[in-house]
Amino acid sequence: MPVPVTGAASPRRLIRDEVFLRLLDAIVDGDLLPGEQLYDAEIERWVGVSRTPVREALNQLAAMGLVEILPQRRTRVTPIEAKRLRDLITTVGVLVAGVVRDATPLLTDADREALRASTDDDSASAVRTGLTADGFLGVFLRRLDNGTVARLLKRHLPEVQRALNASTTTAAFEKARSSMNALADAAIAGKADKAGRAALDVFDKGLVTIADDFAASQKESR
């Protein structure tokens, strides 16, 4: 397990939260690859903590579907499974569409300006960034301020983000980017239903094809 090279845990955070965030970032960003074995001792040395917060963090990641724990056998980063990924993208898309639809009437001028800025970048990385708290999705989440939905997305969106980072396709991002621009235009115009449909298209017509690409590559490797 080649752990990333970073500094020791920050004293400003609870230790278990620090370990969780370090591992989460490493898995989502692809520093820890799907299927890679995770060893408590190496994580302890990397983050500079004892075994208990490491196990707590791994259990939390397992509940999110990012880590697979087989007691007395192994702990590893969960492999990307195409069918699960497709189902997850569809489910997250429905959640995001609802957030966008309900939050659109609540947007402020500053929110609309942030959405305009989000359409300036047509790269694949813009799609990845858009689906974070700092991207276009964060604009709607903050304005809606629904804790239940926010917790659901916080739990399930990282698994989608991991697949986006691991994908080598370009077509899916191009389709998703087009829908994101349509989403921003509709939301800025105050058209809530249209914005919600565009948000669903980001996932159902764009990102879901990433699952098809993983299915094809997994079939070839067998």
For the stretch 50-65, pLDDT in tens is: 889 999 999 999 999 9
Is residue 197 domain-shared with residue 101, that is, in the same domain? yes
Q: Is the pLDDT of residue 66 over 90?
A: yes
DSSP secondary structure string, 70-113? ETTTEEEEPPP-HHHHHHHHHHHHHHHHHHHHHHGGG--HHHHH
Instruction: Indicate whether 106 belongs to any domain.
Output: yes
Give the lowest-confidence range in 23-27, 64-68, 164-168.
164-168
Distance CA 96, CA 80 (A): 22
Which CATH number does the domain housing residue 62 bear? 1.10.10.10
Which CATH number does the domain housing residue 136 bear? 1.20.120.530
For the stretch 23-32, pLDDT in tens is: 999 999 999 9
For the stretch 103-119, pLDDT in tens is: 999 999 999 999 998 88
Instruction: Indicate whether 181 belongs to any domain.
Output: yes
Q: Is the pLDDT of residue 194 over 70?
A: yes
Whole-prediction pTM = 0.85
Domain that holds residue 39: 15-77
Distances (CA, A) of 75 to 22, 39, 60, 107, 194: 17, 7, 13, 43, 44
Is residue 55 domain-shared with residue 131, that is, in the same domain? no
Give residue 222's pLDDT. 61
Is residue 55 domain-shared with residue 105, that is, in the same domain? no
Is residue 66 domain-shared with residue 115, that is, in the same domain? no
Instruction: Indicate whether 187 belongs to any domain.
Output: yes
